[in-house]
């Protein structure tokens, strides 16, 4: 059975849909029947009914059925939307991400525009071709709004995102078009470059691409061809693997030795090139684990030299992992297994023993049932297989961990850091959570058990997560909250004590913040920035490199530089990019590294030396959004060596953005 999140929109609840439609029609009738003066008082009711319908699968189609009435009823009278010919597609994003009323009126305008584009509604100032071009261009600018958004801005913005997603998906299905395909494929590629563990959003994009390619006679283009490549990677990159999966292994067995090698290389290359794995790949790897030789396994997983050596040294374990974890339904974990071997993870002494234990381990029945329900699988695979597949993915793709739509960046960051720095400990936690339904961590000498806690940051737990996060985050969230409770009243930022205890011994004990905990004022910003340079910038710390990634806190801002909130990230490394500019490379646990933080501070995920999964910023830009970091006091360079003009430039950006309304207390730093 396909993963639930790959299946598209669910069937609407017909009674609820009928009620919502009645309210919408009644509100529209009221708008049409009142005077111009009284209309404004009736619009909120229409907008509320619009959003209620849009939030339901199929609701956009119901509203669209009334789109020819909007102009005559006066829905847009007196507003910018009353003149569709003046609307600019690049400005539509402000409405789609704005207030609930702005989203509603933008939705009604777009559905009217769609009616014009389809020739079912005539407008004196807008023809069908212009309306179609507007919507296509607007979809390109707002393509990311069709995906689940895990950024801090979206989380703080309320619950209208599903309504916008349903609206844009409806437009996309009705419009088609080469320009939309180009945008969809480009977005899929940008996501895949970050190598997330959960590729459900990409498969959703590709489903749209497939529908458009099937329905429209699109001319060949680079985007269309790339779309076909990604679809093939997802469904089967070779002629043989694209056939029904039941026949695939038998068909492979009938090939000559040379043709088998060609098939295996094609599967491995496709996975490495795209980050997508097809179901047939899972079936074949299971067969090879039983009957194939080591070389065939290495080719099928696209291993590099380190990976091949890992497979040679741990062949029995690798085969056992495949037999237990890899099924057609869990085939995506092959990429994690390939990366796990290529990273040499099995040479970490605790890892092989812990993985052997998990191959024979049976989770609690309620854990297994929860995993099967969440991922839409019946037997096979078992709960153990689903858990092990998730473990493999996290160990292989530690920068692909995501917090999802949960305010749990600290827990997601911890899982990623453990997978990189302390994988044995991570595997221990996973075993405890799956076997005992609890984990425990120490804080300042005291043992904290998650089973004894009830409070945390999570109010409504969103489960669009990888398996390990789904299992661990509820426990970690309670423990993190309890650590915060225990340091309340100390009068300083609690991350000073929590981060080393929560994450691990390798977190530096030196701690710096530029926010006064009691007042929220900016304090000693120059000294803060000097210390960060002296700790992390190779030109000011005698060329020292980061040994272990370090937790840090950034100020999340919107594209206008306005404050949103505090956000946990991990500094992975600091290095020169290919253009010779010093950059900070970091892990963002919301798993969307491409963000516009205002004032020209736009994070990069490719083209500047990033490892897949990393985000990066020029060093000075990163400083302008940093507010907390840890450092090694023994390896600190000379803070006074940092030129004053650099400090002034960074301070100016901060004063104009997130700290514009904060008190600012500068002191003389030693």
The answer to whether the CB of 463 falls within 8 A of the CB of 407 is no
* 496-535 core/surface letters (b: 16 or more CB in 10 A; e: else): bbbbbbbbbeebbebbbbbbbeeeeebbbbbbbbbbbbbb
Average pLDDT (586-607) is 87
Instruction: Identify which of 198, 207, 188 has the alpha carbon closest to the alpha carbon of residue 150.
Output: 198
Q: Which of 480, 472, 362 is nearest to 426 (CA)?
A: 472
Mean of pLDDT values over 491-498: 93
Asked if the structure places residue 622 within a domain, the reply is: yes
Mean pLDDT, rounded, for 315-322: 98
In a domain, 637, yes or no: yes
Q: Tokens standing for 386?
A: 């689903």
Q: What is the pTM of this model?
A: 0.83
Over residues 517-572, the pLDDT tens digits come to: 889 999 999 999 999 999 999 999 999 999 999 999 999 998 788 898 999 999 99
Q: What is the largest CA-CA distance in the chain?
A: 81
pLDDT at residue 367 in the model: 92
Domain hosting residue 153, numbered range: 4-175
Residue 334 within a domain: yes
135 and 225 both lie in a single domain: no
3-state secondary structure of 411: helix
User: Which pLDDT does position 379 carry in this prediction?
Assistant: 62
φ and ψ at residue 241, rounded to 5 degrees? -75, -20
Q: Say if CB 531 and CB 512 are below 8 A apart.
A: yes
> Nearest to residue 77, comparing CAs of 127, 27, 23, 38?
38
% of the chain at pLDDT higher than 90: 74
264 falls within a domain: no
Write down which residue in 152, 175, 198 finishes a domain. 175
Please give the average per-residue pLDDT across 87-104, as a whole number. Answer: 90
Q: Do 546 and 471 sit in the same domain of this protein?
A: no
Distance in angstroms (rounded) separating the CA atoms of residues 249 and 585? 42
Q: Based on the domain organization, do 494 and 629 belong to the same domain?
A: no
> Last residue of a domain, which of 175, 195, 223?
175
CA-to-CA separations, 476 to 65, 429, 438, 453, 586, in angstroms, rounded: 48, 10, 10, 11, 22
Q: How far apart are CA 434 and CA 366, in angstroms?
A: 9
On whether residue 243 sits in a domain, the answer given is no
Residues 6+ apart with CB under 8 A from 123: 71, 84, 112, 116, 131
* Residue 262 located in a structural domain: no
Q: Are 616 and 577 in contact (CB under 8 A)?
A: yes
DSSP 568-589: EEEEEEEEE-TTS-EEEEEE-T
pLDDT at 7: 33
Q: What is the pLDDT of residue 246?
A: 86
Tens of pLDDT along 148-205? 665 555 555 555 888 999 999 999 888 877 878 888 898 899 889 999 999 988 998 8
Cis peptide before 381 (omega within 30 of 0): yes
The answer to whether position 248 is within a domain reads no
Phi-psi region of 444 (alpha: psi -120 to 50; beta: other; left: phi over 0): left
Write the DSSP string, 140-180. Answer: HHTGGGGS---SHHHHHT-S-HHHHHHHHHHHHHHH--HHH
Residues 277 and 389 occupy one common structural domain: yes
If one counts the domains in the chain, the total is 5
pLDDT, one tens digit per residue, over 379-410 is 668 899 999 999 999 999 999 999 988 889 99
- Do 207 and 153 lie in one domain? The reply is no
pLDDT greater than 60 at residue 4: no
611: three-class secondary structure by DSSP: coil
Domain boundary pick from 486, 503, 520: 503
Are both 455 and 571 inside the same structural domain?
no
Query: Is the pLDDT assigned to residue 639 strictly greater than 70?
Result: yes
Distance of CA 580 to the CA centre of its chain: 29
Residue 316 in domain: yes
* Mean of all residue pLDDT scores within the chain: 91
101 has a pLDDT exceeding 90: yes
Query: Kind of pairing, strands 582-587 and 615-618?
Result: antiparallel
Q: Are residues 20 and 111 in the same domain?
A: yes
- If one compares 412 and 90, the residue with the highest pLDDT of the two is 412
CA dist 496 and 452 (Å) reads: 25
- The C-alpha atoms of residue 495 and residue 515 are separated, in whole angstroms, by 12
Take residue 493 and report the two structure tokens written for it: 């930022």
Q: What's the distance, CA 426 to chain centroid?
A: 21
Q: How many whole angstroms from its chain centre is CA 178? A: 26
CA dist 601 and 624 (Å) reads: 9
User: Do 289 and 328 lie in a common domain?
Assistant: yes
């Amino acid at each position: 059975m396909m993963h639930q999140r790959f299946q598209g929109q669910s069937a609407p609840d017909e009674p609820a849909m009928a009620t919502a439609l009645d309210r919408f029609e009644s509100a529209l009738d009221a708008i049409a029947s009142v005077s111009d003066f009284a209309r404004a008082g009736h619009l909120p009711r229409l907008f509320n009914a619009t959003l209620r319908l849009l939030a339901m699968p199929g609701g956009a189609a119901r509203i669209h059925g009334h789109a020819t009435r909007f102009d005559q009823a006066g829905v847009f009278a007196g507003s910018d939307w009353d003149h569709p010919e003046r609307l600019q597609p690049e400005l539509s994003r402000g409405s789609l991400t704005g207030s609930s009323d702005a989203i509603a009126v933008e939705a009604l305008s777009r559905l009217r525009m769609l009616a014009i584009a389809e020739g079912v509604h005539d407008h004196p100032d807008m023809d069908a071709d212009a309306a179609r071009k507007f919507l296509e261009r607007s979809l390109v600018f707002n393509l990311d709004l069709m995906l689940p958004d895990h950024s801090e801005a979206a989380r703080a913005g309320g619950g209208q995102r599903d309504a916008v997603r349903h609206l844009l998906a409806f437009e996309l299905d009705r419009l088609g078009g080469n320009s939309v395909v180009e945008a969809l494929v480009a977005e899929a590629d940008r996501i895949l470059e970050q190598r997330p563990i959960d590729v459900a959003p990409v498969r959703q994009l590709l489903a749209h691409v497939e529908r458009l390619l099937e329905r429209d006679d699109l001319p060949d283009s680079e985007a269309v061809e790339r779309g076909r490549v990604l679809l093939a990677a997802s469904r089967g990159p070779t002629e043989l693997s694209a056939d029904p999966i039941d026949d695939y292994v038998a068909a492979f067995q009938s090939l000559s030795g040379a043709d088998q090698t060609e098939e295996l290389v094609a599967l491995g290359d496709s996975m490495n090139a795209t980050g997508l794995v097809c179901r047939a790949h899972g079936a074949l790897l299971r067969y090879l684990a039983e009957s194939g030789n080591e070389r065939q396994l290495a080719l099928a997983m696209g291993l590099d030299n380190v990976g091949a050596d890992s497979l040679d040294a741990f062949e029995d374990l690798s085969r056992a992992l495949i037999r237990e974890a890899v099924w057609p339904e869990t085939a995506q974990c092959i990429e994690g297994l390939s990366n796990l071997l290529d990273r040499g993870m099995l040479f970490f002494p605790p890892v092989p023993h812990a993985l052997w234990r998990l191959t024979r381990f049976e989770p609690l029945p309620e854990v297994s049932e929860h995993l099967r329900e969440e991922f839409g699988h019946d037997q096979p695979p078992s709960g153990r297989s689903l858990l092990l597949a998730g473990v493999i993915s996290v160990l292989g793709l530690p920068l692909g961990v995501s917090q999802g739509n949960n305010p749990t960046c600290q827990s997601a960051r911890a899982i990623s850091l453990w997978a990189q720095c302390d994988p044995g400990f991570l595997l221990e936690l996973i075993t405890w959570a799956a076997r005992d339904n609890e984990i425990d961590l120490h804080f300042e000498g005291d043992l904290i058990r998650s089973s004894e806690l009830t409070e945390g940051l999570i109010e409504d737990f969103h489960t669009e997560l990888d398996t390990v996060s789904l299992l661990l985050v509820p426990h970690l969230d309670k423990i993190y909250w309890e650590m915060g409770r225990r340091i309340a009243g100390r009068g300083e930022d609690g991350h000073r004590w929590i981060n080393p205890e929560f994450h691990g011994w390798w977190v530096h004990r030196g701690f710096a913040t530029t926010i006064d905990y009691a007042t929220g004022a900016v304090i000693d910003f120059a000294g803060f920035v000097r210390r960060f340079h002296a700790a992390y910038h190779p030109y000011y710390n005698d060329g020292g490199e980061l040994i272990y990634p370090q937790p840090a806190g950034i100020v999340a801002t919107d594209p206008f530089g306005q404050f949103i909130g505090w956000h946990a990230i991990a500094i992975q490394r600091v290095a020169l990019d290919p253009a010779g500019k010093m950059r900070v490379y970091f892990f963002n646990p919301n798993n969307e590294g491409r963000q516009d933080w205002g004032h020209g501070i736009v994070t990069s995920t490719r083209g500047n030396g990033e490892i897949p999964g990393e985000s990066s910023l020029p060093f000075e830009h990163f400083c302008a959004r940093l507010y907390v970091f840890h450092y090694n006091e023994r390896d600190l360079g000379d803070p006074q060596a940092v030129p004053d003009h650099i400090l002034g430039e960074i301070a100016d950006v901060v004063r104009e953005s997130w700290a514009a309304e904060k008190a600012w207390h500068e002191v003389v730093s030693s």
